Amino acid sequence: MKLNKLTIKEASQKLAANEITSVELTNACLDRIKEIDGEIKACLIVCEKEALAEAKKADEQRANGKIGDLLGIPYLAKDNILTKGIKTTAGSKILENYIAPYDATVIKKLKQAGAVLLGKTNLDEFAHGASTENSAFSLTHNPLDLTRVPGGSSGGSAAAVAADMCLFALGTDTGGSIRHPASFCGVTGLKPTYGRCSRFGLIAMTSSTDVPGPMTKSVEDAMMVLQVIAGVDKNDATTAKEKIDNYQKLIKKDLNGIKIGLPKEYFIKGVDKGVKQLIEQAIEEFKKIGVKFVEISLPYTKYSIPVYYIITSSEISSNLARFDGIKYGLSISKNDLMDVYLKSRSNGFGPEAKRRIMLGTYALSAGYYDAYYLQAQKVRTKIKKEMDEALEKVDCLLTPTVPHVAFKINAKQDPLKMYLEDIFVTGASLAGLPAISIPCGFDHKLPVGLQLIGKRFDEAILLRLGYNFQKIKK
């Protein structure tokens, strides 16, 4: 078997047994990127020299007695996560040549664990989108069908994992951006609880929902990455002190007595027949391993798209204000200050970023604030409360991740249609809950994901259910 196809679990066992080296593993991934990324275009930057140096270091550390699941494991990171000395563009022209002076906390943690950074992956500009078509630099293709999108906004990361260019990738999820592309590309994508993993060094989109997380070939691999990147960070006051479970132990427990809620608002007419059937089959498989199901109702679900898009645009309009042509990246005009702002911003931002800046500025402006932003925050509280209450009665919720399989490139030109992609993923984001997308089969040869949403800080139940599900599917 080619080394780049291994899971983290398999590779780490081989590394520990001295059957392979990290340099070999890293070379296998770099070769795969060279072989296939001309077609897929998942990577924006590949840092071959740095990666091989890190791999060599990991091999030396191992020879000197260092151990760890991620020691010597090659990965890719979404290009809105800061990497010291390596370009971070957020998929935007405004940051085309930006090199961050420090690493994001999640990158730092992975470095300390000895993981090897291969490069950076494509995304919708500033993570705004659900197809990766909004990137200023390239169009990423779905490895399972090159005429289709990989989903988004972490589409580059999902495509890279699906095409075995790396052993895992980091994504960010603000309103579904890990889970949506995971579903479209047939990989596992975990959005941790808000506050579980540090946001320090992520290019902020919606600070109240942004979370970094793993995209992997298996649930067990997602668990291994989470174990390393989770935890409180003095640079991010929203990280929680909450204890980090020993996931390794917990996921292997059987599922007897576990109760899952099926929110009826997620099983509606717009869900494709093929997707519905696969979700129903998955439910039957879970039942066979001891899981019980109950139907529940989350009536506020219908507000999650409008609420999410008001809040997200509002926060975006504020977060993107820092790109002013002075502090970072692109700077056009040497005339007066206003001209620098205007020219740099109008040339630097793409159409979707501009749309959100305008929507958000409107929703936050005097006279409209109460009607839009404040109202959306009130409804958000309702959504959160409703989900928390439902999760008092069940261990987690199960839904489709997306109502359909990956769509054709250019098929969704209308922004509102694109926003509707997020119908099943924004609820957990607004409520700050952990959620995972796991592949559950193929509809017309394209992957379908099922979503599990858990209680705050209970990533363990999602991993445990997912791990047991993948064990029986093998």
DSSP 9-75: HHHHHHHHTTSS-HHHHHHHHHHHHHHHHHHH--EEEE-HHHHHHHHHHHHHHHHTT---TTTT-EE
> What residues from 410 to 449 belong to the interface with ligand GLN (CB under 6 A)?
422
Three-state SS for 120? Answer: strand
Q: Which of 21, 88, 140, 153 touches ligand GLN by CB under 6 A? A: 153
Q: CB of residue 17 vs ligand GLN: minimum separation in angstroms?
A: 38
Residue number with CB closer to ligand GLN (100 or 359)? 359
Least separation, in Å, of the C-beta of 213 and ligand GLN?
Answer: 11
Contacts of residue 208, Cβ cutoff 8 Å, sequence gap at least 6: 194, 311, 315
Query: What's the full length of the chain, in residues?
Result: 474
Question: Residue 260's beta-bridge partner residues?
Answer: 293, 396
Q: Examine the residue annotation and report whether 259 is marked as an active-site residue of this protein.
A: no
Binding track over 189-208 against ligand GLN, x by CB under 6 A: ----------------x---
Give the residue with the Cβ less far from ligand GLN, 22 or 89.
89
Q: Rule CB under 6 A: is residue 130 a binding residue for ligand GLN? A: yes
Asked if residue 122 binds ligand GLN (CB under 6 A), the reply is no
Task: Say whether 12 is catalytic.
Answer: no
Name the active-site residue from 177, 183, 198, 429: 177
For residue 360, state whether it binds ligand GLN (rule: CB under 6 A): no
Active-site residue (options: 12, 22, 78, 135): 78
Ranges within 272-331 binding ligand GLN (CB under 6 A):
312
User: Given the rule CB under 6 A, which of 55-63, 170-178, 370-378, 459-467 is the region that contacts ligand GLN?
Assistant: 170-178
The residue count for binding ligand GLN (CB under 6 A) is 14
Contact between 176 and ligand GLN by CB under 6 A: the answer reads yes
**Bridge partners, 99 (sequence order):** 87
Give me the sheet containing 446-454, strands edge to edge: 43-46, 116-121, 74-78, 168-173, 211-216, 188-191, 435-443, 446-454, 396-400, 259-263, 292-296
Token look-up 């261990």 returns: 395
The answer to the question of residue 173 lying near ligand GLN (CB under 6 A) is: yes
Rounded to 10°, the helix 219-229/8-16 angle is 70
For residues 122 and 43, is the Cβ–Cβ distance under 8 A? Answer: yes
CB of 95 to ligand GLN, least distance (A): 16
Helix (H) or strand (E) holding 169: strand 168-173
According to CB under 6 A, which one of 157, 174, 198, 304 is a site residue for ligand GLN? 174
- Is residue 140 within the footprint of ligand GLN (CB under 6 A)? no
Secondary structure (DSSP) of 315-380: HHHHHGGG-SSSSSS----SS-HHHHHHHHHHHHS-HHHHHHHHHHHHHHSTTTTIIIIIHHHHHH
- Give which of 191, 221, 227 is closest to 470, Cα–Cα: 221
Interface with ligand GLN includes 127 (CB under 6 A)? yes
162 or 418, CB closer to ligand GLN? 418
218 interacts with ligand GLN by CB under 6 A: no
Which residue lies nearer to ligand GLN by CB, 173 or 220? 173
429 is catalytic: no
Q: Residue 287 has which token pair?
A: 């039942």
Name the residues annotated as catalytic: 78, 153, 177
Please give the residue ranges that form the binding site for ligand GLN (CB under 6 A): 127-130, 153, 172-177, 205, 312, 422
